[in-house]
Structure 1
Amino acid sequence: MASSDSNSAPLLLATVRDTEEAPGDAVRFDSFDEMVEWCVSGFSWRRFLKSLLVSFAWFFDGQQACISDFTDTEPSWHCTSSACSASSSICSLQDGSWAWDTPSYTSTISEWALECSGSFITSLPATSFYFGCLVGGVILSTLGDSSLGRKKLLIISCLVMSFAAFVSSFSINLWMYSSLRFVSGVGRASIGTCAIVLATEIVGKDSRGLVGMIGLFIGTFGLLTLPGIAYLLRNASWRFLYLSTSIPPIIYCFLAFFLVGESPKWLFLRGHKLEALDALRKLSPEKYSQVEPFVSSLMIKHNEANIDPYSSLRELFIERWALARIMKLMAIGFGVGMVYYGMLLGVEDLGLDKYLTVTLNVIVVLPSYLTSYLLIQKCHRRPILLTLTTGSGALSIICAFLRSGTLKVAAELSSFFCVCSAYNVLLIYTVELFPLWVRNSATSILRQAIILGVLLDPTLISASQNIWYLTYLVFGLAVMCCGLAVIFLPEMKGVSLADNLDMDNGD
């Protein structure tokens, strides 16, 4: 960002008395960003509850990401005549010789008679959803840095995702359903990004680790509630599952619109000076009252350029420092994403009951949030990520050459715990690495890199049916090699969010 020249006054130059942090010492602000950091420093229930409300968007994000696992699965069936055998393929049996164990309307597969349509057709809704996530990440997420801002994009994205899910419940065929899943994916692509960026921008640096981990935990909690809702609706139409998970986020959007404010830094950056000061006052009325007399007497010089909706995305790939950082983060995200989601998809390779191993993996996710938070508070980012990715890779390779048993499961769970913690730290680290005007776009691109890693998992897991050690061997090598990119990134522990720094000197 442009700074003041030598002949002009700084953006803000004020002296206030900080009675809470440094009694008797004058605090000097050389920029609006410094004033915001001072006003939001320290713990405040007001800011914490606002960030918590913002982070709750992750809850609905997590539910829609995995809803197809319950609506688009093939139900169990049974024979109804002697001409049928339970070991037969359902497609080789005559009509009337078999029947579904549950009403046909409990799944899209049974309702639309897709049981013999092939894996491409039956997986089309889920594929459309994740393809929508990729498209939405490119089209929408950068608008959070440019024209729309964090709050508006969060609400719009959540409404698009939820309304498309709501309309999905009225689908009349697979093609309409898949199209709506694509639209829902486009909306979902920006929700997590906007939530974590806005939530961390309205609190001080001493609370960002906590707020970030809470947001990720809420997303996992949303995912954990989905099986319970699906179980309660197990004999009802699959359409009711969409209705029950799409109406609450629509209500949430209206609450967030009235109760959540925009990031003061983003408002100031885009020339909305009065709105920025008002947003700061609402976030920290006690501290703002101490700087208000000085603000009114100062001329805040900020030239608002014509806003190109995709300028932030373009800047990420034009500026050398930004391109270097985003490419390194994408490499790490690719490896972490492949292992994070791949281990959930490939649990059958462990040789134990599928549902037991899924449950164990989900349980492992929960303590990873506490671990990640403690590591972020106490340790430097680069050593954390390097240790976690290396540890996950080494444990995964060990798991690859253990045929089965308790040791294999223990190695897999330990590796998964490390990669879960790495995933959490990586998202917070990305927010810290980029300045305000490209932060939303950078975080979104990282999430797209994670999704790209996930897209390779089904093929890899399928290939491991012939090469039993392949899956976890590739997982281990991928996360270890990709994790090495963190060595070339700058350390950010204890550094305020970089909003007006000369980034050319950082890499």
Structure 2
Amino acid sequence: MKDYADAISFLGEWGCFQQTVFFLLCASIMPNGFGAFNLVFLTDTPSHHCLVPGINLTEDWLKSIIPITVVNGREELSRCRRYRLDLVKNLSAQGYIPGRDVNLTDLEEESCVDGWSYSKDIYQSTIVTEFDLVCGEQWKVPFTSTVFFVGVLCGSFFSGPLADRYGRKPVLFATLAAQTVFTFVAVFSTSWIMFLIFLFFNGLGQISNFVSALVLGAEILTGNIRILYSSLGTCLAFALGYMILPLCAYFLRDWKSLLLALSVPCLVYIPLWWILPESPRWLLSKGRNEEAEAVVRKAAEWNKVQAPAVVFEDCYIPNSPKENYSALDLLRESSIRTTTVVLCLVAFTLTTGYYSLNFNTAQLHADPFLSCFISAVVEIPGYVSSWISLRCFPRRPSVIGLLICGAAFLFLIQLVPEHLSSLALTLEMISKYAFTTGFSLMFAYTTELYPTVLRNTATGTTNTVGRLGSCITPFLLSLSSYFKSLPYITLGILTVVTAFAALLLPETYQQPLPETVQQMQERQRFKCPSCTRRNKSATPRVLLDSPL
């Protein structure tokens, strides 16, 4: 009896059909790259001080009306206070000179009742300058990011079950449409609340599109091409979108133009609806064999090969015994429950480390555009390493090794003297490399662990828990105000604990994707591929098919 990979082996691994699916799905992931981090520029706060309306003041008083404050050991103009305008006006009219005739420290101050004057050296406008999110309203800036990540979290949770119920393709395009539409309409926001609402719905499509595209490609492609797509292809597409963001932001310095530039070009994805197919694996799991065969026959035409009379004859792709599966099915059986809980912990830790170190290394340079570009470029070695690891090494030891590596360098940073800042930065970048590699690897690992009927639900659920890490990142980084190294130590301890928990994960290296819950449960019995070979007589036929 053949499995799915054997049934479609006549197509080959890298024909015209597979190439089209590979590159078009990668292209659909690019908006996640610039959409996930555009808040870096949209919520940036330029230099500002209280606005002084056009009144008749001497040049000396115009220069002195804003108090001087000390921030991090440096003197700068106060951002939220000014000397009382009526007092300054009277003193200026009487010919008094500040600093000589008047002691400025004795003057009464007031808040910025006339608004603020914002520097335009870097940005023409951001949502901070648009809605005056400074001083007493400054809390709205991090809250804006939190709302976005809550939207991402909700989208990750609901998109998985929806994709398992209604199909990978509809959810892929629905989430892509959500990103495009709500990024565009946010341009017309007339208040911070309105912008926040649009941002939340934008977040629903973020990453959910990535997961849907990842699962769709992983189920259509086979062999080493599937590994290439699940690791290097998808992640490099994300990184490319990430690198496009600072380039657009550099030439478009106002937030509305930037959002338009990031949304309107996404209309080119509309024709992909008629090009990209639904997952044949998912169609088979739903008993829609004729539609699955139609997809495969179309692929045979594209690849110019002859399809057999019956494509899935003697193919072991059982239909789901239940109408619908939900996230609860990830917790019903003890073996699946253990895998799910550990995967959620690993996803949470890697996501927390990834975003924490990304936000930290975003300050590598005074130029925010260059900082963002560097932060994107340094992820490429991590993605390449993830691909090599998936091709050549077992999954579980790879995940554990990356977690230990990431934690080790976080602890080593504490031993570096303050004057060796370049060494500390190097160690932090190595730790970021480890978290980025693990972050990328886990997407492919998760798709390999779960059967077709639960794959998107499991990927969405673990990704949802992981997104909690991105939500707490601002709070984790704020611990540095109590003790500078506390964020590193906290993250390092969490990572070490997670590395030990990962020992409970099953191995998937050189094993085919499970099609049923029973096959997944059977896999829990074996710790590694060598164990599988030693237990051939007790292993179902589906686990002995040709390697990925």
TM > 0.5 between the two?
yes
CA-CA distance at 1:98 after TM superposition = 6.1
Q: Is 1:380 paired with 2:394?
A: yes
8 Å contact from structure 1 (residues 151, 198) kept in 2? yes
Kindly state the Cα deviation for residue 505 of structure 1 after the two structures are TM-superposed.
2.3
Q: Distance in 1 between matches of 2:11 and 2:417?
A: 53
Offset at residue 88 of structure 1 (A): 3.5
Q: What is the match of residue 228 of structure 2?
A: 210
Tell me if 1:101 matches 2:109.
no
AA aligned to 2:377 is I
Moved more, 385-394 or 104-113: 104-113
CA contact (8 A) 2:150 2:471 kept: no
2:300–2:307: 8 Å Cα contact kept in structure 1? Answer: no
Equivalent residue for 2:79, pick from 90, 107, 124: 90
Counterpart code for 2:257: F
1:111-130: CA deviation from partner (whole Å, max 9, x where unpaired): 22222343332333322111
Contact conserved, 1:369 with 1:421, CA < 8 A, in 2?
Answer: yes
Q: How far off its partner does 1:194 sit?
A: 0.4
Specify the alignment match of 1:328 in structure 2: 342
Q: Please tell me whether residue 30 in structure 1 is matched to residue 19 in structure 2.
A: no
- What aligned pairs does 1:330-409 form with structure 2 within 5 A after superposition? 330-347=344-361, 360-404=374-418, 405-409=421-425
- CA shift, 1:389, in A, is 1.0
CA offset at residue 172 of structure 1? Answer: 0.9
The answer on whether the counterparts of 2:149 and 2:470 sit within 8 Å (CA) in structure 1 is no
Where has structure 1 moved over 4 Å in runs of 4 or more? 94-98, 286-291, 295-306, 352-361
**Alignment partner of 1:274 is 2:290:** yes
Q: What SS does the corresponding residue of 1:123 show, helix, strand or coil?
A: helix
**Match for 2:164: what amino acid?**
D
Instruction: State how far apart, in whole Å, the 2-side matches of 1:472 and 1:353 are.
Output: 23
Alignment partners' CA distance in 2, 1:68 and 1:480: 31
1:52 aligns with 2:34: no
Matching residue of 2:453: 437
Between the two proteins, the alignment pairs up a number of residues equal to 471
Name the counterpart of 1:174: 192
Query: In 2, Cα distance between the equivalents of 1:276 and 1:62?
Result: 32
Question: What is the rounded CA distance, in whole Å, between the counterparts of 1:297 and 1:200 in structure 2?
Answer: 22
Contact 1:392 1:480 in 2 (8 A): no
Write the letter of the residue equivalent to 1:371. Answer: S
What are the superposed Cα offsets for residues 22-58 of structure 1, whole Å, 9 maximum, x if unpaired? xxxxxxx43556413x245532243023122112222
**Contact 1:150 1:194 survives alignment (8 Å):** yes
**1:288 to partner: Cα distance:** 9.3
State the 1:210 CA deviation.
Answer: 1.0
Secondary structure of the structure 1 residue equivalent to 2:484: coil
Aligned counterparts of 1:49 and 1:363: Cα–Cα separation in 2: 26
Residue of 262, 274, 299 corresponding to 1:258: 274
User: 5+ residue gaps in structure 2?
Assistant: 53-61, 69-75, 83-111, 525-548
Give the whole-Å Cα distance in 2 for the aligned partners of 1:354 and 1:415.
23
Aligned equivalent of 2:462: 446
Q: Find the aligned partners of 1:496 and 1:299 in 2 and give their Cα distance.
A: 14
CA contact (8 A) 1:400 1:470 kept: no
The alpha-carbon deviation at position 312 of structure 1 amounts to 3.2
- Normalising by structure 1, what TM-score? 0.85
- What is aligned with 1:137? 156
User: Deviation digits for residues 409-429 of structure 1, max 9, x if unmatched?
Assistant: 121111111111111111111
Larger Rg: 2
Deviations for 1:423-472, whole angstroms, at most 9, x for unmatched residues? 11111111111111111111112222221122222222212123122122
CA distance in 2 between partners of 1:137 and 1:65 (Å): 14
Measured in 1, the distance between the counterparts of 2:397 and 2:319 equals 40
| Deviation of 1:485 (Å) | 2.3
| 1:63 corresponds to 2:81 | no
| Pair 52,322 (structure 1): closer, same or farther in 2 beyond 3 Å | farther
CA distance in 2, matches of 1:341, 1:74: 20
Pairwise CA RMSD of aligned residues?
2.8
Residues 161-200 of structure 1, C-alpha deviations (whole Å, 9 max, x = no match): 2111111111110111101111111122411110111112
Q: What amino acid sits opposite 2:416 in the alignment?
A: L
Residues 287 and 32 (structure 1), Cα distance of their counterparts in 2 relative to 1, 3 Å cut: farther
8 Å Cα contact 2:242-2:376 kept in structure 1 = no
Question: 1:185 and 2:241 equivalent?
Answer: no
SS in structure 1 opposite 2:117? strand
2:515 matched to which residue of 1? 499
Structure 1, residues 118-155: CA drift from partner, whole Å, max 9, x if none?
A: 33323333221111111122223211111x21111000
Alpha carbons 1:361, 1:413 under 8 Å: kept? no
Q: 2:331 aligns with which of 296, 317, 327?
A: 317
Shift of 1:487: 1.4
CA drift at 1:60 = 0.4
- Counterpart secondary structure, 1:73: coil
Pair 1:460-2:467 in alignment = no
User: Structure 1, residues 359-397: CA drift from partner, whole Å, max 9, x if none?
Assistant: 654332111122211121111111111111111111111
Q: 1:306 to 1:426 in 2, by over 3 A?
A: closer
Is the CA contact (8 Å cut-off) linking 1:54 and 1:256 kept in structure 2?
no
- Relative to structure 1, is the Cα distance of residues 120 and 44 closer, same or farther in structure 2, using a 3 angstrom cutoff? same
- 1:385, 1:422 within 8 Å by CA — same for their partners in 2? yes
In the TM superposition, residue 97 of structure 1 has moved relative to its aligned partner by 9.4
Pick aligned residue for 2:178 from 144, 160, 163: 160
The amino acid of 2:379's aligned partner reads V
SS at match of 1:262: coil
Q: Quick one: structure 1 residues 247 and 307, their matched pair in 2 at CA, closer, same or farther if it must change by over 3 Å?
A: farther
- Does the Cα contact within 8 Å between 1:51 and 1:202 map onto a contact in 2? no
**TM-score of the pair, normalised by structure 2:** 0.79
Deviation of 1:105 (Å):
6.5
Work out whether residues 284 and 319 of structure 2, in 8 Å CA contact, stay in contact via their aligned partners in 1.
no
Q: Residue 464 of structure 1 aligns to a residue in which SS?
A: helix
For the 8 Å contact 1:331–1:483, the answer to whether it is kept is no
Q: Using the alignment, how far apart are the partners of 1:484 and 1:34 within structure 2?
A: 36
For residue 232 of structure 1, what is the aligned residue in structure 2? 251
Instruction: Tell me: CA distance 1:299–1:399, structure 2 relative to 1, closer, same or farther (3 Å).
Output: closer
Contact 2:293 2:312 in 1 (8 A): no
Compared CA separation, residues 505 and 248, structure 1 to 2 (3 A): same
Residues in 2 aligned to 1:469 and 1:259: alpha-carbon distance in whole angstroms: 51
- Residue of structure 2 in register with 1:248 after alignment: 265
- In the alignment, is the contact (CA less than 8 A) between 1:339 and 1:475 conserved in 2? yes
